[in-house]
């Protein structure tokens, strides 16, 4: 990421880096979604795009002489904060909720973060505010609402996704960029990256942006012409826990409007289907939230919003290993086989519908 240092807020030589960025951009012809490319951010050091944010933010924590890094997160942002703080030699406090569990939480602990669980969600921000205001801890995540965005230096890191995509396509930007969206940090960062390239004359147009969300907040704001995305409570929790916030942000909405983009609300069934499809057809296993762009592209192609000849880039933000639970339940139980080839072929047929010839 820091090879773009001229576009960033620090020099490569002073960056806290784990080799983030420069992720593959892969064609995905087997998905039946037309000209779609996957920017696979699961190849980053903590297996998510948040490493660009973590590197950008913790670099500045170090420059500002911060003594402690602090984040409120149910997963990927906390893991990135923890890893980069470890690299910087800084203690890291992460606030999370009691319902958070699984590999994501373990990951934060593995990097040595001091994980603190709260029962009331709002206590995360209340305690983080005290740490920031009273003790001078350096925040990488939001800690008051309504959320504007995360650490601004961290968000600058997301610009490099746009640079990498533009470069990979020989400075011919895609027609659409489709992202799973919560606070809209990456949406804003990528949009800004393309705008900068256009201002420099390196590209002659910028993509339209799509927010794939689970709350429906941005969809409501786009339809209703709201200045502020409304709260949009759901009946049940989504399997896309990483993008589970109930309210979109003004920065996210602003990017959709400025880029003449769109918002799409996605549900659990389509998320599950797209996780399985990506894994089985393209060999890429995304976290459930990272499957949201594919559900959105499917819908927008069917509606004719994305035209058949138009090129899309989908941001696959994190790896499936981060939160395997929802997908494990959707897969067939592996058979136990004893005996020889007939028993093996029977088992493959019964469990997977496979017949050899
Ligand atoms: C895997 C994953 N995808 C997408 C998002 C959305 O992030 P944002 O919209 O804040 O860039 C998050 C985190 O919030 C995430 O963890």
| 7 falls within a domain | yes
Answer for the pair 228, 146: CB distance below 8 angstroms, yes or no.
yes
User: pLDDT by residue (tens digit) across 96-123?
Assistant: 998 887 899 999 999 999 999 999 999 9
Task: Give the H/E segment covering residue 117.
Answer: strand 114-118
37 and 132 in a single domain? The answer is: no
Closest ligand 1 atom to residue 48 Cα is: 1
Residue 329 pLDDT: 87
**Mean pLDDT, residues 237-256:** 94
- The answer to whether residue 357 sits within a structural domain is no
Q: What does the pLDDT average to over 123-146?
A: 97
Cβ-based neighbours of 326, under 8 Å, separated by 6 or more: 239, 268, 271, 272, 275, 288
CB of 315 within 6 A of ligand 1: the answer is no
Residue at a domain's end among 148, 175, 190: 148
pLDDT at 151 over 90: yes
Rounded alpha-carbon distances, angstroms, from residue 201 to 58, 195, 209: 31, 10, 20
Has residue 165 been placed in a domain? Answer: yes
Is residue 318 within 8 Å of residue 40, measured between CB atoms? no
What pLDDT is recorded for position 264? 98
- Give percent of the chain with pLDDT exceeding 90: 93
Residue 351 in domain? no
- Any domain includes 161: yes
* Spatial CB neighbours of 246, under 8 Å, sequence gap ≥ 6: 215, 217, 231, 232, 233, 234
The closest alpha carbon to 243, from 206, 190, 286, 281, belongs to 286
Q: Which of 81, 82, 181, 238 to mutate to test the pocket of ligand 1 (most atoms within 8 A of CB)?
A: 181
Q: Which tokens belong to 266? A: 């996605």
For residues 140 and 20, membership in a common domain is answered with no
- Report the C-alpha gap between 229 and 222 in whole angstroms: 8
98 shares its domain with 234: no
Residue 338, in any domain of the structure: no
| The predicted structure's pLDDT at residue 138 | 98
Q: Is 248 in the pocket of ligand 1 (CB under 6 A)?
A: no
**Spatial CA neighbour of 70 closest among 148, 164, 154:** 154
Final residue belonging to a domain, choices 87, 117, 148: 148
For ligand 1, atom 3: residue with the closest CA: 317
**Residue 251 beta carbon below 6 angstroms from any ligand 1 atom:** no
Q: Using the Cα atoms of residue 152, residue 153, residue 157 and residue 162 in order, give the sign of their dihedral.
A: positive
First to last CA, the chain: 48
Query: Is the predicted pLDDT of residue 357 greater than 80, yes or no?
Result: no
Structural domain of residue 106, as residue ranges?
Answer: 50-148
Q: How far apart are CA 302 and CA 280, in angstroms?
A: 23
Ligand 1 pocket, 56 CB below 6 A?
no
335, part of any domain: no
Pocket perturbation via mutation, ligand 1, pick of 161, 317, 319 by most ligand atoms within 8 A of CB: 317
Q: What is the pLDDT of residue 9?
A: 97
Q: Are residues 123 and 35 in the same domain?
A: no
Q: Are residues 194 and 308 in the same domain?
A: yes
Q: 47: closest CA among 76, 18, 15, 6? A: 76
Q: What is the pLDDT of residue 87?
A: 98
| CA pair distance 106, 83, nearest whole angstrom | 12
Task: Categorize the per-residue pLDDT at 243 as very low, low, confident or very high, splitting at 50, 70 and 90.
Answer: very high
For residues 68 and 39, membership in a common domain is answered with no
Angle between helices 76-88 and 50-63 (to 10 degrees): 40
Q: Is residue 349 part of a domain?
A: no
Alpha carbon 134 to its chain centroid, in Å, reads 31
Distance CA 121, CA 280 (A): 36
Give yes or no: residues 169 and 315 share one domain: yes
241 Cα to the center of ligand 1, angstroms: 10
> 208-213 and 92-97: which strand pairing?
unpaired
Residue 357 CA to ligand 1 centre (angstroms): 43
- pLDDT tens digits, 154-201: 999 999 999 999 999 999 999 999 999 999 999 999 999 999 999 999
Query: Is 48 a pocket residue for ligand 1 (Cβ < 6 Å)?
Result: yes
Binned at pLDDT 50, 70 and 90, residue 237 comes out as confident
Distances from the Cα of 41 to the Cαs of 117, 160, 288, 345, in angstroms? 28, 12, 14, 38
**Ligand 1 centroid – CA 219 distance (Å):** 17
| Least confident among 252-256, 322-326, 341-345 | 322-326
Do 288 and 255 share a structural domain? yes
For the segment 302-322, what is each residue's pLDDT rounded down to a tens digit? 999 999 999 999 999 999 999
* CATH number of 283's domain: 3.40.50.1100
> Among 124, 186, 319, 321, which residue has the most ligand 1 atoms within 8 Å of its CB, making it the best to mutate?
186
DSSP string, 251-294: HHHHHHHHTT-EEEE--HHHHHHHHHHIIIIIS--B-GGGGHHH
236: confidence class by pLDDT, cuts 50, 70, 90? confident
CB 217 within 8 A of CB 230: yes
Structural domain tally of the chain?
2
Judge if 207 and 286 occupy the same domain: yes
Residues 169 and 244 in one domain: yes
State whether residue 131 is helix, strand or coil: helix
pTM: 0.97
Do both 211 and 250 map to the same domain? yes
Q: Is 287 in the pocket of ligand 1 (CB under 6 A)?
A: yes
Which of 90, 121, 148 is the endpoint of a domain? Answer: 148
Mean pLDDT across 210-226: 97
Lowest mean pLDDT among 57-61, 220-224, 235-239: 235-239
153/283 Cα distance (integer angstroms): 33
Res 349: pLDDT: 96
Q: Are residues 218 and 141 in the same domain?
A: no
């Amino acid at each position: 990421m820091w090879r773009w240092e001229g576009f960033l807020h620090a020099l490569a030589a002073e960056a806290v880096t784990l080799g983030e960025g420069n992720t593959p951009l892969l064609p995905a012809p087997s998905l039946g979604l037309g000209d779609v490319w996957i920017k696979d951010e699961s190849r980053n050091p903590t297996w998510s795009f948040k490493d660009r944010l973590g590197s950008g933010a913790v670099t500045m924590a170090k420059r500002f002489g911060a003594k402690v890094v602090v984040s409120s997160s149910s997963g990927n942002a906390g893991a990135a904060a923890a890893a980069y703080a470890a690299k910087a030699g800084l203690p890291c406090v992460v606030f999370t909720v009691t319902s958070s569990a699984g590999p994501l939480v373990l990951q934060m602990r593995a990097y040595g973060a001091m994980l603190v669980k709260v029962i009331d969600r709002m206590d995360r921000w209340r305690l983080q505010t005290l740490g920031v205001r009273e003790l001078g801890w350096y925040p990488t995540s939001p800690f008051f609402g309504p959320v504007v965005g995360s650490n601004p230096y961290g968000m600058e890191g997301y610009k490099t996704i746009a640079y990498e995509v533009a470069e990979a396509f020989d400075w011919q930007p895609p027609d659409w960029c489709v992202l799973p969206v919560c606070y809209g940090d990456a949406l804003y960062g990528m949009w800004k990256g393309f705008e900068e390239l256009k201002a420099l004359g390196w590209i002659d147009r910028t993509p339209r942006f799509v927010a794939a969300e689970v709350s429906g907040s941005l969809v409501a704001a786009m339809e209703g012409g709201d200045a502020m995305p409304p709260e949009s409570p759901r009946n049940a929790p989504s399997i896309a826990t990483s993008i589970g916030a109930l309210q979109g942000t003004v920065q996210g909405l602003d990017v959709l409007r400025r880029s003449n983009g769109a918002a799409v609300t996605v549900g659990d069934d389509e998320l599950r289907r797209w996780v399985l499809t990506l894994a089985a057809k393209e060999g890429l296993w995304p976290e459930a939230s990272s499957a949201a762009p594919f559900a959105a592209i499917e819908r927008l192609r069917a509606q004719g919003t994305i035209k058949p000849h138009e090129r899309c880039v989908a941001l696959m933000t994190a790896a499936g290993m981060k939160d395997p639970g929802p997908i494990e339940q959707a897969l067939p139980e592996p058979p136990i086989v004893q005996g020889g080839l007939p028993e093996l072929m029977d088992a493959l047929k019964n469990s997977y519908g496979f017949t050899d010839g």
